[in-house]
Amino acid sequence: MRRLTAILAGAVLAATPLAAGAETPNASDWDAVVKAADGQTVYFNAWGGSQNINDYIEWVAGEVKERYGVTLDHVKLDDTANAVAQVVAEKAAGKDEDGGIDLIWINGENFVSMQEQSLLSDGFATKLPNWRYVDTDNPSVTTDFTQPTNGQESPWGGAKLVFFTDPAKFGSLDTMPDSADELLEWAKAHPGRFSYPAPPDFIGSSFLKQILIETTADPSVLQKPVDEANFAEVTAPLWAYLDQLDPVLWRSGRDYPQNYPAMKQLLADGELGIIFAFNPAEASSGIANGEMPDTVRSFTFSGGTLGNTHFVAIPYNSGSKEGAMVVANFLISPEAQLRKEDPAIWGDPTVLAMNKLPAEDRAAFEAIDRGVATLAPGELGPVLPEPHASWMTRIEEEWLKRYGS
């Protein structure tokens, strides 16, 4: 249904003349932006499936209200594609001002879709006052799944695929798999103790991309848009892998966890022996929040795992662009990034460069108690770059045909 909605909405948009929304405010005159933002309501469409993230956004809402007079309304999503479809529908209906979404938590295929369909405000991110702290040496803050961001989205946090297990129940970390091939062998030796969320869940789709990168003959082809002429050849090792994995999954592959929180609960209950997330601090955060046993620990693959950056963007027809820019700027402030990286609060890695921060802020980041289950940055292994966004779309479609019934 998610894909059908996007396809139908895209067809409607293709038949509709393009129209520009309200002009993006000039962030160079920041005092004017802040003044105009006072009294605005910003409807922030963001995934709402994690209580600690929801609590963090609630804290942000309190801060921007007190400091800038901006009311931040968190519209909780279960799929960002639904927000994209809403903006598409508004544009098709000619609603080019005062749209229903002012800020959206986004990356990957959803960003590319909005950018290609002219659904985003002009570049604003690089003009925000707090941009001076951003780690611009990290290519994933200026490109999103190989697509240049052109300042149309502001980085919010980093992500890297990390695995978790409970050594008290499933053996020492030394016995944990160190690659996709070893993970398959572990799953065969421990039937029913591994699974992944069914695509199009983002975490589930990310797992498929990790396996694709490790198994395909030439990973460099994934940095280009999908070519139907060689799609079957490039992805054949992925499907061969999943055909072996499927029978030994949790519930013999007849059912899949709904999302990451569901996997986390299954690990806590002892049903799953290995789970994974896109946040290196997730295990420590889960322990701190009482969601996981304190014996849970993290591990990763020495050859590398998938990594990316997630962002916030402003739809072209937002009626509260100044307020949205004020929120985006606050989100990349050292204060907000420091709080977000604390595993007891969220544990989401910062997008800021430590060498750009004042000494006091740098010391505060260094003093974060990352918890017993968080790997040190040097232990996370290499970052495998995200494939072009079109690969996720095609892989999800093919997965549903093969395993979704």
| φ, ψ (nearest 5 deg) of residue 163 | -105, 155
Both structure tokens of 123: 């570049």
| φ, ψ (nearest 5 deg) of residue 339 | -65, -40
In this structure, the number of other CB atoms found within 10 A of the CB of residue 254 comes to 8
CA atoms of 94 and 87, how far apart (whole Å): 11
Both structure tokens of 20: 């520009």
- 71 burial via Cβ count (<10 Å: 0-12, 13-18, 19+): middle
CB of 302 within 8 A of CB of 119?
no
Name the β-bridge partners of 298. Answer: 164
pLDDT digits (tens, 9 = 90+) for 346-398: 989 999 999 999 999 999 999 999 889 999 877 888 889 899 989 999 999 99
In this structure, the number of other CB atoms found within 10 A of the CB of residue 267 comes to 25
CA atoms of 344 and 282, how far apart (whole Å): 10
Give the per-residue pLDDT at 7.
33
Which DSSP string corresponds to 200-240?
TSHHHHHHHHHHHHHHSS-GGGGGS---TTTHHHHHHHHHH
pLDDT at 285 over 90: no
CA atoms of 53 and 89, how far apart (whole Å): 28
With bands split at pLDDT 50, 70 and 90, how would you rate the model's confidence at 75? very high
- Average pLDDT of the chain, as a whole number: 92
Report the pLDDT averaged over residues 276-292. 90
With bands split at pLDDT 50, 70 and 90, how would you rate the model's confidence at 289? confident
Give the per-residue pLDDT at 163.
98
CA atoms of 250 and 196, how far apart (whole Å): 9
CB of 115 within 8 A of CB of 275?
no
Looking at per-residue pLDDT, the higher value among 146 and 31 belongs to 31
In this structure, the number of other CB atoms found within 10 A of the CB of residue 101 comes to 23
Q: Which region among 73-77, 79-83, 309-313 has the lowest average model confidence (pLDDT)?
A: 79-83
pLDDT at 19 over 60: no
| φ, ψ (nearest 5 deg) of residue 113 | -60, -45
Give the per-residue pLDDT at 12.
37
184 Cβ contact partners less than 8 Å away, ≥ 6 residues apart: 241, 244, 245
- 30 burial via Cβ count (<10 Å: 0-12, 13-18, 19+): middle
248 Cβ contact partners less than 8 Å away, ≥ 6 residues apart: 187, 188, 190, 191, 192, 194
Q: Which region among 90-94, 132-136, 260-264, 346-350 has the lowest average model confidence (pLDDT)?
A: 346-350
pLDDT digits (tens, 9 = 90+) for 143-192: 998 899 999 999 999 989 999 999 999 989 999 999 999 999 999 999 99
300 Cβ contact partners less than 8 Å away, ≥ 6 residues apart: 160, 161, 162, 163, 375, 379, 380, 381
Give the per-residue pLDDT at 212.
98
Give the per-residue pLDDT at 216.
96
Name the β-bridge partners of 46. Answer: 76
Report the pLDDT averaged over residues 198-218. 95
pLDDT digits (tens, 9 = 90+) for 231-242: 999 999 999 999
pLDDT at 9 over 60: no
Give the per-residue pLDDT at 43.
98
Give the per-residue pLDDT at 4.
31
**Helix 30-37 and helix 321-331, axial crossing angle in degrees, nearest 10:** 110
Looking at per-residue pLDDT, the higher value among 299 and 381 belongs to 299
Structural domains of the chain in order of their starting residue, each with its CATH number: 2-156+310-369 (3.40.190.10), 162-307+384-403 (3.40.190.10)
Give the per-residue pLDDT at 1.
30
| φ, ψ (nearest 5 deg) of residue 147 | -95, 125
| φ, ψ (nearest 5 deg) of residue 160 | -150, 135
Both structure tokens of 98: 């005062």
288: phi > 0 → left, psi -120 to 50 → alpha, else beta; which? Answer: alpha
